[in-house]
Amino acid sequence: MNNTSESKGTFKSYNICLKDSVKSFTKGLFYMLFDEAYANENRSSVKKKFLKIAGKLKHNDGELLWNQFEKQFSKVRAQLDLDAEAIENNDPATKSLEEVYLAYPGFHAIAIYRLSHELYKLNAFVVSRMMSEYVHGLTGIDIHPGATIGDSFFIDHGTGIVIGETSIIKNDVKIYQGVTLGGIQVKKSLSSTKRHPTIEDNVTIYANATILGGNIIIGKNSTIGANVWITQYVPENSLVTYKSEIKISTRS
């Protein structure tokens, strides 16, 4: 391959520096949602950052996009308050709601998911995905902004969780670290189809469980044990476990 000066102009240029812009915007948006004083002082600068990003990504009307997005902030905040309460109510290690808002990576990941999901619904696919990748890097939790997640969502610990684009998670669901809601096949031809599972109300999925397939439903009130691999329908009120034999012997 020729050196850089000789090959200049050969490759298409991308706005890679937007990664820093989206990081700054996402942080400001998160702070603004929960801190009234910060919002009062920084709303215009957060909006300005968004308009700059939208312009770089060639959205035709960034002002309209922002206005549509901003209308969803109250709804998102109400959803996140329910999520925070679910974490406080279910995690015995939680000492207060304040701890959830300030220190829980699972809550942080859910918050950025809910914000990015609203942009995804407005067809702002690239910036929504960049937001999700920013918080993925911080928390180790990978939630695609296209996923649909209901009220009172609880993530405990969270590292290694993967939730695919067409996943549907209903209300009062609890998910632990290492869980994957994925596709059973990886083919570009399936991009417009439902590839990821549906999780009904009041399901608990324990650590490192893997659930694959767009036609897979985990019925309500079910418990999915740790380390299971599921590619079939699970009826409601089920308990699914993986049995392994562990032998413990003492040395003489």
Output b/e per residue, 230-241; b: 16+ Cβ within 10 A. beeebeeeeebe
Amino acid identity, position 38 = Y
Q: Does residue 176 register a pLDDT over 50?
A: yes
- Listed in order, the ranges of the chain carrying CATH 2.160.10.10 are 147-240
pLDDT digits (tens, 9 = 90+) for 138-158: 999 999 999 999 999 999 999
pLDDT digits (tens, 9 = 90+) for 194-243: 999 999 999 999 999 999 999 999 999 999 999 999 999 999 999 999 98
Evaluate whether the domain defined by 147-240 bears CATH number 2.40.30.10.
no
pTM, to two decimals: 0.92
Question: What class is the 16-141 domain?
Answer: mainly alpha
Rounded mean pLDDT, 166-188 = 94
Identify the residue whose tokens are 């418990």. Answer: 223
Rounded distance between C-alpha atoms, residue 149 and residue 111, angstroms: 12
Structural contact between residues 227 and 207, judged by C-beta atoms closer than 8 angstroms: yes
